[in-house]
Amino acid sequence: QTFIPEIRTSSADLTMFLKKPPNISFAFFLTHLSLCHGLQSPKRHSPYSTVDTERYSSLVKSAMSRVSSQTPLTILEEDDHIYGPVLKSPPPTTLTRGEVRTPKVLHPFLHPQEITEEEAETGGPPARIHLNRGQGRSAIPSVTRILQQTMSTEQMFYLERWKRRMVQELGEEGFKEYSQNLFKQGKTFHSVLEETLTSGVKWTDRDPFEMSQYPPEVCGYMKSVSHVLDDVREVHAIESTVQHNTLNYLGIVDCVARYRGVLCVIDWKTSEKPKPFLSNTYDNPIQVAAYAGALNTDANYKYQVENGLIVVAYKDGSPAHAHQLNFELMLDYWKTWLLRLEDYFEKRYKKCYKNVFINML
């Protein structure tokens, strides 16, 4: 119907159309129908003598004339008609949204030049502020929860579809086990990484017997990130709670350290599939920007982070992909995060969200 707008077929028509003998191509079918229409010398005793040729005559004529008259120019015109004018690459902030919105809050990231060395603490063990929910914090939403509850319908659709397929393949129980195993692997990897960063003992320098105590996947993940760890210095915080001082959200950062000389919020990820591009990491960059934005306003931390880093580790030990988010990218993702935050409060507090949001600023 897109290519041949003057034809309107119902699904019943299409079903009938597809009941042609399987060894005969669609093009041949059309040609043959055209013969039946007397465009060329008619053929008797055809297997299609029962086909309602009158009914399909316009389709045949249209299809035949289009195919033969197609030139590069008409194809370009068709493309224009079907796909619309060519769009120049849109700015990253609008990628996940149909409409362009501007968040109301100023960004919490200082420009690299404005950060002086004195602001970053050096030495001492890394901070590890545990989450303590018992002190009136229960109303404060977390980064993960906000991201989960403000996913686009498209994102939810693909996740649901994936889940449905997996359940079909593995069964309800099998899928549950598979998911739990993925979580377990991720958790173990995080804890081993934590030990490594705290102790300062390189994974490769560890006692082979000790290494063999871990599941093979975890060894693979550690091998995978070893080249990234070589570029990590000055670990400032590990698994530490950060809370934004006005925007009323909290989260736990995996790691704050200097990566290639720049102070970063680092998020370690394990993945079954390769994620060579930042776009493969879905909402991870937003998560990192949210943590960094919170940390930079949190009085518990006396320094400012500049960049973010997402490290995707693989269990087969192949080199991890390290996606560094520079100042500009952090700013873009921070804006996206603010929109998600607005969405969350809007959903949660319905009409009075605006007052809630304004009160927080």
Partner DNA sequence: GGATCCTTCTTCTTCTTC
User: Which element (helix H / strand E) includes 69?
Assistant: helix 53-69
DSSP state of 357: H
Work out whether 48 is an interface residue with DNA (CB under 7 A): no
Least distance to DNA, CB of residue 185, Å: 7
User: Does residue 269 bind DNA (CB under 7 A)?
Assistant: yes
Using CB under 7 A, which of 252, 256, 289, 305 touches DNA?
Answer: 252
Per-residue binding letters, 27-46, with DNA (x by CB under 7 A)? --------------------
- Please report, as residue ranges, which positions from 66 to 105 form the binding site for DNA (by CB under 7 A): none
> With the C-alpha atoms ordered 60, 63, 66, 69, is the resulting torsion angle positive or negative?
negative
Bridge partners, residue 127, by sequence: 237
* DSSP designation for 118: G
Nearest to 331 by CA among 143, 109, 112, 114: 109
Strand, coil or helix: what is 10?
coil
Rule CB under 7 A: say whether 159 interacts with DNA.
yes
* CB of 53 closer than 8 Å to CB of 36: yes
Among 267, 306, 332, 342, binds DNA (CB under 7 A): 267
- The nearest distance, CB 331 to DNA, in angstroms, is 21
Per CB under 7 A, the list member of 8, 66, 187, 260 interacting with DNA is: 187
Site string for DNA, 135-154 (x = CB under 7 A): ---x-xxxxxx--x------
Question: Binding-site residue total for DNA (CB under 7 A)?
Answer: 40
Which is closer to DNA, CB of 155 or CB of 297? 155
User: For the chain, first and last CA: distance in Å?
Assistant: 52
Q: Which is nearer to DNA, 139 or 361 (CB)?
A: 139
For residues 71, 73, 79, 84, the Cα torsion angle rounded to the nearest 10 degrees is -160
The residue with tokens 């720049």 is 262
Q: Which of 250, 263, 286, 331 binds DNA (CB under 7 A)?
A: 250
The answer to the question of residue 215 lying near DNA (CB under 7 A) is no
Taking each helix axis from N to C end, the angle separating 327-349 and 284-295, rounded to the nearest 10 degrees, works out to 90
Residue span binding DNA (CB under 7 A) among the ranges 21-29, 184-192, 201-209, 226-234 = 184-192
Active site residues: 254, 267, 269
- Give min distance, CB of 9 to DNA, in A: 22
**CB of 33 or CB of 218, closer to DNA:** 218
Six-digit token pair at 153?
């319908």
Supply φ then ψ for residue 100, to 5 degrees: -95, 120
Query: How far, in Å, CA of 250 to CA of 55, rounded?
Result: 65
User: Which segment (2-10, 25-33, 119-127, 278-286) binds DNA by CB under 7 A?
Assistant: 278-286
Q: From CA 196, how far away is CA 206, in angstroms rounded? A: 10
DSSP 160-187: HHHHHHHHHHHHHHHHHHHHHHHHHHHH
CA 291 to chain centre: 17
Among 220, 251, 285, 293, indicate the residue that binds DNA (CB under 7 A). Answer: 251
Question: Is residue 245 involved in binding DNA (CB under 7 A)?
Answer: no
Q: Which of 158, 164, 319, 352 binds DNA (CB under 7 A)?
A: 158
Q: Give me the residues that bind DNA (CB under 7 A), please.
A: 131, 133, 138, 140-145, 148, 155, 158-159, 161-163, 179, 182-183, 186-187, 189-190, 250-252, 254, 267-273, 279-283, 287
